[in-house]
Homo-oligomer: A and B are copies of this chain.
Amino acid sequence: MNFQYTQLQEFIQQVFLSIGCSEEDALLASQVLISADLRGVDSHGIARLSGYVRLYDNGRLNPKPIIKIIHETPSTAVIDGDKGLGLVVAPKAMEIAMEKADKVGSGWISVQNSNHFGIAGYHAMKALHKDMIGWAMTNAAPLVTPTFSKEKLLGTNPIAVAVPAAENPPFVADFATTAVAYGKMEILQRKGAPAPLGWVQDKDGNPTDDANAVKNGGALLPLGGDREHGSHKGYGLGAIVDIFSGVLSGANFGPWVPPFATAGFMAAGEQVGKGTGHFLGAMRIDGFRPADEFKADMDKWINRFKAAPAVDGKNVIIPGDPERELEAERKANGINLLEPVVNDLNALATRFGIKF
């Protein structure tokens, strides 16, 4: 079924208002969530809305958080998200990072006591309009095994970096530190199709093409897949994200990061810190060199890469281009939702007495 994104965003906003968020926070959260649907990260968009409501139902989400700085220097801080929506906590952390960058060149914020923050790229891209480079990372509940491990110890732990150009659209890298996102496994599960080797392992740590491997005690593999192809590097990256987001902030880390509220996967279990952790950063371009010169060189970089000879039928792609093209297409032609998602949204509409 096809929906205009404005209609979906309005609905998201109404749901967040219904669980007690302020007007301002509900609007912001709806912008972040719909941005995932527009940019093609469907698993992090409106499909998760009922999950956020379950977090609220289970007392893990505070709809009126008092978000505050608990430790800081001129260029760094830890903020306590007060169990708020990550969709709201992360943008506020990014604002603080940008204020610090305005004053001293860069700002780096580690966040504790938050929840799932949606699509990492959204937060990194907030820096672009101020001629800053934006960074966003978050840890997440364990789905990934370090190299040689049989146990899941890391989340899909994404990294996003957004860099402005002049004539060209910005460079926006935004990726999970795994071989693939878990959403791709779910697509294969629905099709009953096997997974390419190198995406997942079984419960004993063997390579497998079982698209249900993670449900069957197996795990997603770090970027690189196996040791021979550099999985220790993907593991290292996921670990860096976990340390910056979790250990540096005083949030949970490693296997202790609480799960998002998917059905049957709710309990937070033993805790070593507060909630989920994020890490956000902003670097002012003219803290390094004049922004106009930098952006002209970024154009040179982008144009040179796009002009490279490509394998048959392909082009060299600038990170961020596919998502931006999809966003334009979906803004024009609407967003398709799967039936289970529509059913979830209808249930929310009934519960809160909102029109869908």
Interface residues of A (CB under 8 A from B): 71-78, 104-106, 108, 110, 133, 146-151, 153, 161, 163, 171, 173, 175-180, 196, 198-199, 204-206, 223-225, 228-230, 232-237, 239-240, 242-243, 247-250, 253-255, 272-273, 283-285, 287-289, 293-294, 297-298, 300-301, 304-305, 308-311, 314-317, 319
Contact = CB atoms under 8 A, between A and B. Distances in A.
B78 A105 contact: no
Contacts of A151: 308-309
A148 B255 CA distance: 36
B289 A78 contact: yes
Q: State how many copies of this chain the complex holds.
A: 2
Contact of A229 (B110, B225, B289): B225
Contacts of A235: 319
A319 B237 CA distance: 10
30 contacts: A71-B287, A71-B288, A72-B287, A73-B104, A74-B74, A75-B104, A108-B283, A146-B317, A148-B310, A148-B314, A148-B315, A149-B308, A149-B316, A150-B311, A151-B309, A153-B304, A153-B316, A163-B243, A171-B243, A173-B240, A175-B233, A177-B233, A179-B230, A204-B311, A205-B310, A223-B230, A239-B305, A239-B319, A247-B294, A248-B288
A198 B171 CA distance: 26
A301 to B, nearest CB: 6
Contact of A175 (B149, B230, B253, B308): B230
